[in-house]
Structure 1
Amino acid sequence: MYERPLVTGLDVDFETRCRHYHSENDRIAIRFHCCGQYFPCFECHQALGCGNASVWPKEQFHEKAILCGACGTELSIREYLDCASSCPHCMAAFNPGCSLHKHLYFEV
C-alpha cells in the first residue's frame, strides 16, 4: 500500500489543510526546497520548519514537490504550475488563490 509523505504543520488534516489555510480547496502541501520536508503553507514552515526558507529555482521545476491532499499524488512543480488549479491525477480542485503566494515557494 502507498504511504503518503509526512506533512508537518499546525492542525493538519488528512487532505493537508492547516490552521492557516483550511477552505475546502486548500488541499496541497509543498516540499520546501531548503529542508526537503512537506508543509501545508509558508506559515507552518515558519512555525515548525528549518528556519532557513529558500525557493525552488526554475531549473528544478521538474522535481516532485507538491502533494495533492485528495489523492496523495506527488506533482512536479511544473505540473502544479500548469494544472489550472486542479489535480491532473484525480481532478480535485486546488485553491486558485495559492498563486498569490507562489513567490514564497518558487522562483518567479
Structure 2
Amino acid sequence: MIEVKGSVIDKQTRCVHYHSERDVIAIKFYCCQTYFPCVHCHEEHGCGKHAVWPKERFYERAVLCGVCQTELTIEQYMTGDYHCPHCNAAFNPGCQLHAHYYFEV
C-alpha cells in the first residue's frame, strides 16, 4: 500500500479537509514526491517548498485512487472523466477547480 501523508482519516485517502464520498484521490506533490490528500495537508505536513507538476511531466504517475490504490498519470486524471479507469470509482469533479495547486495549467 502506498503511504499517504497528512491529516488522513480513512484508507481511501479522505482527509479532515475533504471527506465526501467522492474525495478518494491523493496527489504526489512534485516538490517532495510524496502523496497527500490535498494542498492543505501538504501545507500542514509537507516539505514547505510547494511546486506544481510541469506540463512536460504529465505522463508521470502522480494521482492515487484511494479505492483501488492504482496510480494514474496526470494525463489520465486530467481527462475530466472523474472516474478511476481501473476500478471505476467516482472522483470529485470539484477537484478540477483546484488543479492549479498541483499541476501547471
TM-score normalised to structure 1 length: 0.95
Could you say what secondary structure the match of 2:95 adopts? helix
1:10 partnered with 2:7? yes
In the TM superposition, residue 63 of structure 1 has moved relative to its aligned partner by 0.5
Give the structure 2 partner of residue 66 of structure 1. 63
Residue identity (%): 59
TM-score normalised to structure 2 length: 0.98
Q: Is this contact kept in 2: 1:62–1:76, CA < 8 A? A: yes
In the TM superposition, residue 83 of structure 1 has moved relative to its aligned partner by 4.9
Give the structure 2 partner of residue 53 of structure 1. 50
List structure 1 segments (4+ residues) > 3 angstroms apart after TM superposition: none
Residues in 2 aligned to 1:48 and 1:17: alpha-carbon distance in whole angstroms = 15
In the TM superposition, residue 11 of structure 1 has moved relative to its aligned partner by 3.5
User: Cα deviation per residue 1:23-57 (whole Å; 9 max; x = unaligned)?
Assistant: 00000000000000000000000000000000000
Note the residue ranges of structure 2 that are not aligned, 5 or more in a row. Answer: none
1:27 to 16, 24, 27: 24
